[in-house]
């Protein structure tokens, strides 16, 4: 896998890009990462058993609340743009809530400008040049709004303190709780309480990734009410208890790790 950092103007909106090529079949367990992605498959798309479908050549991957065992048949070349939790809607003119718990074909949003860019990417042989084409499009779509800024501040608050209450987040955003929940869901793609669960889970993964094994300490640091709450939530989002996951694979937090 190769990681590419976005140009400076896009860094408030795009976390990073990654490119992966492979010629051996594989299967891998993935978790809710809290960040939507746009995926370009130049060869065979990945298969997702939990959804009983393969990704499209051009896929928009939304916020999810379940683990998935993705599979490759060994003919793989993919380019992925990973966005911040609250920014993808600005670039595709579609509310992220429309693809909650889904892997949708980007062609289904019927955006001619997007489709033209996608075709240029598939016609381009050099993957770094493909990313440059994508970035040219993304730069043309930057339109910060009050709601994007509000929700961005909320997401950052949750990353720092996952136990922050919805009422406190709504007050900080100068919105009623009902307004805040609607704006958050439309901007991020899931409701704030559910997204906070993903953040707690990802922070727990990050602590385990760094070698922490005191589950009571992890529960307290991540804002769980107790150790049992932590283990129950962890299993719902990963399919494993923390102890069982460590035996299955090395814990890794996509949300709290910034690949260089």
Give the pLDDT confidence score for residue 164 in this predicted structure: 95
Q: Could you read off the pLDDT of 46-63 as tens digits, one per residue? A: 999 999 999 999 999 999
Any domain includes 256:
no
Q: Could you read off the pLDDT of 117-126 as tens digits, one per residue? A: 999 999 999 9
Give the pLDDT confidence score for residue 110 in this predicted structure: 86
Residue that finishes a domain, picked among 140, 173, 206: 140
Q: What is the pTM of this model?
A: 0.95
Residue that finishes a domain, picked among 99, 114, 140: 140
Any domain includes 44:
yes
Give the pLDDT confidence score for residue 216 in this predicted structure: 96
Give the pLDDT confidence score for residue 95 in this predicted structure: 94
7/135 same-domain check: yes
**Measuring CA to CA, how many Å separate 135 from each of 85, 126, 142?**
18, 14, 11
Structurally, the chain folds into a number of domains equal to 2
Residue that finishes a domain, picked among 140, 175, 198: 140
16/135 same-domain check: yes
CB 135 within 8 A of CB 126: no
Q: Could you read off the pLDDT of 111-170 as tens digits, one per residue? A: 889 999 999 999 999 999 999 999 999 999 999 899 999 999 999 999 999 999 999 999
Residue 142 C-beta-side C-alpha neighbours within 13 Å: 13
The whole-angstrom separation of Cα 102 and Cα 32 is 12
CATH number of the structural domain spanning residue 119: 2.60.120
Q: Which domain holds residue 202?
A: 146-248
CB count within 10 Å of CB 32 equals: 25
């Amino acid at each position: 896998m190769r990681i590419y950092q976005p140009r400076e103007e896009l860094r408030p909106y795009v976390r990073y890009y990654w490119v992966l090529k492979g010629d051996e079949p594989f299967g891998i367990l993935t978790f809710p990462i809290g960040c939507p992605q746009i995926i370009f498959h130049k060869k065979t798309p990945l298969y997702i058993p939990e959804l009983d479908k393969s990704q499209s050549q051009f896929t928009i991957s939304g916020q999810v609340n379940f683990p998935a065992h993705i599979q490759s048949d060994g003919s793989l070349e993919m380019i992925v743009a990973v966005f911040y939790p609250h920014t993808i809607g600005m670039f595709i003119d579609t509310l992220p809530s429309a693809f909650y718990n889904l892997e949708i074909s980007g062609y289904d949003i019927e955006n001619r400008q997007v489709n033209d860019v996608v075709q240029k990417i598939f016609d381009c042989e050099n993957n770094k040049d493909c990313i440059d084409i994508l970035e040219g499009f993304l730069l043309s779509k930057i339109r910060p709004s009050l709601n994007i800024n509000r929700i961005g501040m909320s997401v950052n608050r949750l990353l720092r303190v996952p136990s922050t209450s919805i009422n406190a987040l709504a007050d900080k955003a100068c919105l009623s709780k009902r307004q805040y929940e609607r704006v958050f869901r439309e901007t991020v793609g899931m409701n704030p309480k559910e997204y906070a669960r993903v953040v707690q889970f990802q922070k727990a993964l990050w602590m385990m990734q760094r070698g922490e094994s005191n589950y009571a300490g992890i529960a307290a640091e991540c804002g769980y009410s107790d150790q049992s709450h932590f283990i129950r939530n962890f299993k719902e989002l990963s399919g494993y208890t923390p102890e069982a996951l460590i035996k299955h694979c090395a814990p890794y937090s996509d949300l709290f790790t910034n690949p260089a």
